[in-house]
Chains A and B, each alone.
Chain A
Amino acid sequence: MKAEDRLEERNPIEDLLRMDRIPHIWCPGCGIGTVVTSFAEALKKTDLDLDKVAVVSGIGCTGRVAGYIKLDSFHTTHGRAVAFATGLKLANPELKVVVFSGDGDLAGIGGNHLIHAARRNMDLVVICVNNFNYAMTGGQVAATTPLEANASTAPYGNFEFPFNLPFLMEAAGATYVARWTALHLRRVTMSIMEALQRKGFSFIEVITPCVTLYARRNRLGDGLNLLRYYYDNSEIQHGADTRQLDISFQGKIIVGKFVDKDKPTFLDAMNQHFTRVLGDDYQLYGRINHDRD
C-alpha cells in the first residue's frame, strides 16, 4: 500500500477488499460489514506488511469475511478456522494470522480449538462477531443466545445459559481480551490495531446486530433500534472482572479491554524451551524461512 492511498476519499478501504466480489451477501443493516470496515481501517493504520497478513474464516455469515478481504484469505470449514490458522501460523511464523468468524463458528462448534489456542497463547488475532444466533442457517439458538431470547430452535425462548466469552477466553489463557459493540467502531478499530501489533492470543468480541433474524424474531426493530439499544445499555469498563460480563436479554453490555498481558507465545515458548533443554542440538524455528529461497 502506498502512503498517498491513505488520503483517498472515495472508499478508503477499497484496496483491501475484493471489489470483484462486491456486492457482498450480507443483509442491509447487518453489522458484519461495519466490523470488516473497522478491521480494514486498523490494517491501514498499522505498519504491517499486508502481504504478510492472512485471514481465516470458518462458516456462517461472518465466515464469509475471508472471501471479501483482499489478503491471503481462507474460507475453511465450520468450527475449524482457529485450528487451520494454528497450522498456517506455525508453518510460516512471519505471518500475522487473523481469524475472523462468528460466535457459533468459534465458540459453538469450534469451541475446543478456541480454548486450546488461547491456552497455548498461539499468536493469533481472533475477531469474533457475536450476533447471538446462528444466522446463516436461519436464526437458531447459539451458545451465546441470551436467556429468554427467541430463536428458531428455541421457539419458546432460550433456557440454556450462554457463554460469557471474555470470561471463557481469559480463563483459557488469552493474553488480550476486549469486547465492543458495532456502535463502538473506532474502539473496535483500536482494539484490532492493538491486537495486530502485539504477540500472543488476542480475542476481540464485537456484539453485532443481526437484523434479519435475531432482531426480527425478537421484535427488536431494525439496525438502528439495535444500535440505540447498544448506546443505551453498553458501559465501558476497562479492566472489568470478566466474571461479571454476562449479557442478559436486552440487558446491560459491559464493554472495554479486559485483559492485556505478556506471556510467551507458543513459538517463543517452544524455542526457549528447546534451546534450554537441547542446546546446540536444537534447530531454532521460525526466525528464517527456508522454504522458498
Chain B
Amino acid sequence: MKKVKADPKGVLTGVHYLDGDYAIAEGALAAGCRFFAGYPITPSTETAERFAARIPKVGGVFIQMEDELGSIAALIGAAWGGKKAMTVTSGPGFSLMQENIGLACMMETPLVIANVQRGGPSTGLPTLAGQQDIMQARWGSHGDYEVIALAPDSPQECFDLTIEAFNLAETYRVPTFIMTDECVGHMHEKVVIPPAEEIEVVERKWYTGPKDKYLPYKLDKDGIPFMVKAGDGYRFHTTGLTHDERGYPVINAECQDWCVRHLCDKIRKNADKIIILEEDETDTAEVIVLSYGITSRVATRAVQKARDEGIKVGTLRLITVWPFAEKRIRELAPKVAAFVVPEINYGQIVFEVERCAAGQAKVIHVPHCGGWVHNPEDIYKAIKEAVK
C-alpha cells in the first residue's frame, strides 16, 4: 500500500460550515476522486451538485447518467480507465446498483458509493431518515462477496470517512460504501479540511513489472492483485465470470472456489486492520449501547440519563459497519449483561450482534421503522430493561 499526500488541487483547506452531503463531495475531492457519475435522488443529490460545481475547477469529470445502473457501470469503467471514482445515491438507487456492485467485486474494482439512507422499502420516505439499507450493503448483490461499509455520524466524519473509504477501496480493491443517512446528510456543522500535506491518500496498487508477465488476478504477497489501467499496453482481460489469474473465464467449481474464496478472504482476513470502532466505558459496562450513524448521537441522551442514575452503560459505535466487529462483540459478550441495539430499521445489525453474542449476553433491539430518529426515551427504557 503506497500512501501519498493529497493533491492540493482537490483540497478545500479551511474551516467550513457544511452539511454531510457536501462534506462527502469534499472528502472525495480531497481523496483524489476525479470521476463522478450519478443520478439525482433525494436525499443524496446535494453531493452530486457539489461535485458538479467543484470538479471543473479541480480537473476531472462529472456526468449525470441516465440511471443508477449506468452510474455504477460508468464508475467501474472509470476505475479501469485509471481514475478514482464515486457515486452517491439513496435506497432505490442503491437497489438498482446491486448487480454491478457484484461486478465491481468480481473485477476487484476500487470505487466508492455513498448511500444517504432514507426510509424504505420502495419509494418509502424520500426526505426522511432510515438505516434500512445496512443489510443490503452487505448482501444486496447475488453470490458471495465482501465489501467495506462506513457509517459517519457528522459532516466532519462524512469528510474524513470518505477519504478513508477511498483509501480502503484502493488498498483492498473493493467497493466501499459510506452508509450515511438523511439526518447526517442534511445536518450542517463545522467541517475542518486540513492542508493537503496532512491528508494521506492511498495510491492504486499499480503493476510495474514486465508487460508480458502481467496477470490481472495473480495475488501479491498481501493477497491483493496488482492493477493496471486500460491504455497502458497490457492488453489484459477482465470479466464478471468466474476467472483465473489471467482474468480468463473458467466455469468450474475449482476455479469458483479459488476466485470467490479470495474475494471474501481478502476482507475477512484483514478485518482487524479495517475495522474502526469508537468505545466509551465498555470495559466497566453492565450494558453496552451499540449503534452507528445518527443513532449513536441520539442515544447519547439515553446513555447520559442512565449513567446519571448510576447504571454502568458503555457505548460502542460501529464506524465500520462492514466487515462486522465480530471479534470485539465476542470479547465483550461474556462481560456484559446486555447489548442494547437501537437502529432506524426493524432489525438488521441486531441480528449480527445476536449472532456474535451467541447467547452470552442479552440483546435488546430498539427498532424504529424510519422517518425520524429514535426518541431517546425508548433507548433509555431498553437500557433499564437490560439491567432489570
Contacts and interface: CB of A to CB of B under 8 A. Distances in A.
Contact of B231 (A72, A75, A283, A284): A72
Contacts of B194: none
Interface in B93-110: 99-100, 103
Contacts of B35: 87, 90-91
B233 A51 contact: yes
B237 A83 contact: no
A292 B237 contact: no
A79 B76 contact: no
Interface string A57-95: 000000000110011111111011001111111111011
A194 B238 CA distance: 27
Given A76-B103, A77-B103, A84 B232 contact: no
Interface string B54-77: 001111110101110111011111
A75 B80 CA distance: 12
A95 B80 CA distance: 12
A126 to B, nearest CB: 14
B67 to A, nearest CB: 6
Given A74-B238, A95-B231, A285-B59, A83 B65 contact: yes
B262 to A, nearest CB: 19
Contacts of A291: 82-83, 229
A71 B206 CA distance: 19
A18 B71 CA distance: 30
Given A66-B237, A281-B57, A290-B59, A56 B249 contact: no
Contact of B69 (A72, A80, A92, A285): A80
Given A52-B231, A292-B206, A116 B70 contact: yes
A274 B73 CA distance: 25
Given A76-B103, A91-B61, A290-B59, A67 B239 contact: yes
B226 interface: no
Given A51-B232, A91-B83, A282 B77 contact: no
Nearest to A284: B59
> Which of A54, A66, A94 has the most chain B CB within a 10 Å cutoff?
A54
Contacts of A67: 237, 239, 248-249
Contact of B240 (A70, A75, A92, A113): A75
A109 to B, nearest CB: 9
A197 to B, nearest CB: 18
Nearest to A109: B69
B291 to A, nearest CB: 35
B346 interface: no
16 contacts: A54-B231, A67-B237, A74-B237, A74-B239, A83-B69, A83-B74, A84-B77, A87-B77, A88-B78, A91-B78, A91-B81, A91-B82, A92-B230, A113-B66, A283-B56, A292-B232
Interface of B: 9, 35, 37, 56-61, 63, 65-67, 69-71, 73-83, 85, 99-100, 103, 206, 229-241, 246, 248-249
Given A77-B103, A86-B65, 10 more contacts: A18-B248, A51-B233, A66-B237, A67-B249, A72-B231, A91-B77, A112-B69, A113-B73, A116-B70, A285-B59
